[in-house]
């Protein structure tokens, strides 16, 4: 990994800056116990009113419907995601039940993002790579998997063992490296809104 772009400005747990979204998966299978450990980590994410709006639909590479799920992805994602061990669709429930009936769950996507973060970091701790994908056919996924409108489709997550960059087609190899972040002074301000 290129340390320079991934250098924290303050000391943090290495977990946060050593995780990155690789694409060069080996095709190695993932055990159910490992995959469920990732869902377990996601389950403990915080959420508005503890509403827990996240839902996960997964498929492993040896499943008969693997090609169907792969087919939901944009072509550019499909090329590398085809060597993942599992694909996970993350959706969030846009309404929560209350004694007065269903109410909009304002933080459903925000909460799902927290769950994704737990999932990705737990995977990293166990030596597995993850990459989220917004690039998929939402309408076709919703129809094929019969997902009711009350659920927002968030991302597909590819989970896999990360291998050599040579596994990727040439045009993707150059992209296969950790990226950096905005400096803290561009994203944090004290006492007033200081951003354009």
Ligand X SMILES: Cc1cc2nc3c(=O)[nH]c(=O)nc-3n(C[C@H](O)[C@H](O)[C@H](O)COP(=O)(O)O)c2cc1C
- Residue number with CB closer to ligand X (42 or 155): 155
Q: Which of 30, 42, 86, 132 binds ligand X (CB under 6 A)?
A: 132
Q: Which of 8, 46, 67, 134 touches ligand X (CB under 6 A)?
A: 134
Give CA–CA dist 37/43, Å, rounded: 10
Task: Find the distance separating the first CA and the last CA of the chain, reported in whole Å.
Answer: 32
Position among 1, 32, 138, 179 found at the interface with ligand X (CB under 6 A): 179
Under 8 Å between Cβ of 55 and 91 = yes
By CB under 6 A, residue 131 contacts ligand X: yes
DSSP 62: T
One residue of 34, 135, 137, 147 binding ligand X per CB under 6 A: 135
- Asked if residue 168 binds ligand X (CB under 6 A), the reply is no
Size of the site for ligand X (CB under 6 A): 11
Q: In Å, what is the CA distance from 48 to each residue of 11, 43, 44, 54, 101?
A: 29, 14, 13, 12, 17
What is d(CA 122, CA 41) in angstroms, rounded to the nearest whole number? 6
Kindly identify the residues of this chain, within the stretch 90-109, that bind ligand X according to CB under 6 A. Answer: none
Check residue 155 for interaction with ligand X (CB under 6 A): yes
The site for ligand X (CB under 6 A) is made up of: 20-21, 77, 131-135, 155, 178-179
């Amino acid at each position: 990994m290129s340390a320079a772009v991934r250098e924290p400005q303050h000391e943090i747990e290495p977990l946060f800056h050593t995780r990155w979204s690789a694409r060069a998966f080996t095709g190695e299978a993932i055990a159910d116990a490992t995959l469920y450990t990732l869902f377990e980590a996601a389950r403990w994410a915080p959420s508005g009113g503890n509403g827990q709006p996240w839902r996960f639909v997964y498929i492993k590479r040896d499943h008969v419907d693997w090609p169907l799920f792969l087919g939901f992805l944009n072509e550019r994602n499909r090329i590398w995601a085809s060597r993942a061990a599992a694909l996970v669709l993350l959706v969030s429930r846009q309404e929560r039940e209350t004694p007065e009936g269903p109410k909009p769950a304002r933080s459903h996507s925000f909460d799902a993002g927290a769950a994704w973060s737990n999932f990705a970091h737990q995977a990293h701790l166990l030596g597995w790579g993850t990459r989220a994908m917004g690039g998929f056919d939402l309408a076709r996924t919703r129809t094929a998997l019969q997902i009711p409108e009350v659920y927002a489709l968030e991302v597909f997550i590819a989970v896999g063992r990360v291998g050599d960059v040579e596994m990727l087609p040439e045009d993707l190899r150059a992209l296969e490296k950790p990226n950096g972040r905005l400096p803290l002074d561009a994203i944090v301000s004290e006492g007033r809104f200081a951003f354009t």
